[in-house]
């Protein structure tokens, strides 16, 4: 899952003008989940169960296979450190039953730079990721904890675990947190457990409820300034205005589109939002013949 606000600090993103809906098919994908913004109009999107990573262009409406991963690799959430051209990927598992994993790829060379085992087999689901100026934070949907991979001079370091407390800390073994995003400074993280929105202090793991925000079925989160977009599984993206101190949010509209099909994540490009269709409403594994990125007005 992407932090567009961080991307704007680390690299110039060409503003995308508002326009009609555009549907971009991920060629050969057997499923879909994560997306993140690259430079200009470039996006990266992942095949959830197949693991492959695609590179696309929202203005041209094209996508192509970018990284062909080994069999058995899963690609869930993703985010990009544009400054070092490093793509951080949450590795599930969704179906394999193995340990919770994470991967770091170079978008310059397409090579695997680092891989991590973050959780124990059968008890972890590494799901969302957000890049901050200090490194990448990964969620575990089945454990009340986050994993942090520091980044120093473009080199990913050893992982550490942050135990969560407060309303963002679910019961072990219960699916609770999906995606994660952060403020540009990296000093506050945001997650959406159980239809709520919570802030997390990355120094202590303490969480606080953001009052006024109700987002049932939320997966992907996009933060730009004090405006938040929450991708909801029931074919909509809700938009919220947050107070400067992130204590409260108010509704700012809902984005719907007939081309949405169980959307899960999004990336923002100027006035446009690129939303991933998971088709998980057809089951797991999903059975739709194609998987798409739907570009709509933000």
Tell me whether residue 231 is in a domain: yes
Question: Has this prediction a pTM greater than 0.85?
Answer: yes
Instruction: Give percent of the chain with pLDDT exceeding 70.
Output: 94
Tell me whether residue 269 is in a domain: no
At residue 4, the pLDDT reads 30
Tell me whether residue 28 is in a domain: yes
Tell me whether residue 12 is in a domain: yes
Give me the domain span that covers residue 93.
Answer: 4-248+257-262+275-297
When pLDDT is cut at 50, 70 and 90, the band that residue 96 belongs to is confident
Tell me whether residue 270 is in a domain: no
At residue 17, the pLDDT reads 65
In three-state form (DSSP H/G/I as H, E/B as E, the rest C), the secondary structure along the chain is: CCCHHHHHHHCCCCCCCCCCCEEEECCCCCCCCCEEECCCCEEEEECCCCCCEEEEECCCCEEEEEECCCCCCCCCCEEEECCCCEEEEECECCCCCCCCEEEEEECCCCCEEEEEECCCCCCCCEEEEEEECCEEEEEECCCCEEEEEEEECCEECCCEEEECECCCCCCCCCCCCCCEEECCCCCCEEECHHHCCEEECCCCCEEEECECCCCCCEEEEEEECCEEEEEECCCEEEEEEECCCCCEEEEEEEEECCCCCCEEEEEEECCEEEEEECCHHHCCCCCCCCCEEEEEEC
Q: Could you give the number of structural domains in the chain? A: 1
pLDDT at 13 over 50: no
What confidence tens digit (pLDDT) does each residue in 259-287 have? 999 999 999 999 999 999 999 999 999 99
Tell me whether residue 25 is in a domain: yes
What confidence tens digit (pLDDT) does each residue in 206-248 have? 999 999 999 999 999 999 999 999 999 999 999 999 999 999 9
Tell me whether residue 108 is in a domain: yes
Q: Domain with 58 in it: what CATH number? A: 2.130.10.10
Tell me whether residue 213 is in a domain: yes
């Amino acid at each position: 899952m992407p932090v567009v606000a961080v991307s704007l600090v680390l690299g110039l993103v060409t503003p995308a003008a508002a326009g009609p809906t555009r549907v971009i098919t991920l060629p050969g994908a057997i499923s879909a989940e994560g997306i993140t913004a690259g430079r200009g109009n470039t996006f990266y999107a992942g095949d959830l169960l197949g693991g492959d990573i695609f590179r696309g262009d929202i203005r041209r409406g094209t996508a192509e296979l970018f990284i062909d991963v080994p069999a058995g690799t899963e690609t869930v959430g993703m985010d990009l450190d544009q400054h070092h051209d490093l793509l951080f990927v949450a590795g599930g598992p969704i179906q394999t039953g193995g340990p919770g994993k994470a991967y770091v790829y170079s978008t310059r060379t397409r090579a695997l730079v680092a891989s991590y085992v973050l959780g124990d087999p059968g008890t972890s689901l590494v799901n969302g990721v957000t890049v901050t100026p200090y490194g990448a934070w990964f969620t575990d949907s089945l454990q009340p904890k986050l994993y942090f991979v520091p980044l120093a001079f473009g080199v990913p370091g050893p992982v550490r675990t942050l135990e969560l407390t407060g309303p963002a800390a679910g019961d072990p073994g219960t699916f609770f947190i999906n995606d994660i995003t952060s403020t540009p400074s990296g000093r506050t993280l945001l997650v959406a457990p159980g239809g709520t929105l919570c802030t997390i202090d990355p120094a202590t793991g303490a969480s606080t409820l953001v009052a006024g925000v109700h987002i049932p079925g939320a997966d992907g989160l996009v933060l730009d300034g004090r405006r938040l977009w929450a991708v909801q599984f029931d074919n909509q993206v809700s938009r919220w205005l947050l107070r400067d101190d992130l204590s409260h949010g108010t509704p700012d509209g809902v984005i719907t589109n007939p081309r949405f099909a169980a959307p899960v994540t999004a990336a923002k490009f100027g006035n446009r939002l690129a939303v991933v269709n998971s088709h998980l409403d057809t089951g797991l594994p999903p059975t739709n013949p194609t998987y798409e990125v739907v570009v709509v007005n933000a």
